[in-house]
Amino acid sequence: MTGGAGYAMNRAAVRVFVEKALPDPIKCPLTWRRTGYPCEDVALAKCLSEMQVKFIDTRDRKGRGRFFQQGLRKVLTDPDVLLTRPFYKVTTGRNCCSDTAVTFHDLSASDMYLFDYLIYELRPYGIL
């Protein structure tokens, strides 16, 4: 669970969180809300784990990630990114990310315009 890039939960997990986890201050203490504890992603993961919600590996068949706690430029070019993903082998460069990547963190507005152009506007020569 990385909070900066967002979360993806199915309806069943959301239902468990809202109906069972939030009302249970022992298994799911919400002190992080009152104290400004910065790691809400870790707190949410612990809380859902206490509720027996199963986490799944979201990498693609080639082992490439879909959710990134860094921006795309960093994932593509910075070898230090390897230090931030302790559970799975991560590569940088062109093979870093799944073709079906879902989210990146730390994207600027200009990054979003660039991605929009590359995905929806750019037509390489010879491709219709």
CB 87 within 8 A of CB 76: no
Predicted confidence at residue 83, as pLDDT, reads 62
Closest CA to 106 of 71, 66, 63, 57: 71
Show the tokens assigned to 113: 């315009």
Alpha-helical segments (H) within the chain:
11-16, 31-35, 40-50, 72-77, 109-116
Q: Is the sign of the CA dihedral 80, 81, 86, 90 positive or negative?
A: negative
Predicted confidence at residue 61, as pLDDT, reads 94
Q: Tens of pLDDT along 32-69?
A: 555 555 577 778 888 899 899 998 888 999 989 888 88
pTM: 0.72
Contacts for 86-94: CB closer than 8 Å, 24+ residues apart: 88/57, 88/59, 88/63, 89/63, 90/65, 91/64
d(CA 88, CA 85): 6
Q: Tens of pLDDT along 75-116?
A: 888 877 666 555 677 778 888 899 999 888 888 899 889 989
**Would you list the domain boundaries of the chain?**
11-50, 57-128
Show the tokens assigned to 7: 């979360």
Q: Tens of pLDDT along 5-39?
A: 778 899 999 999 999 988 888 888 766 555 555 57
Predicted confidence at residue 95, as pLDDT, reads 86
Rounded to the nearest 10 degrees, how much is the dihedral formed by the CA atoms of 39, 41, 43, 45? -150
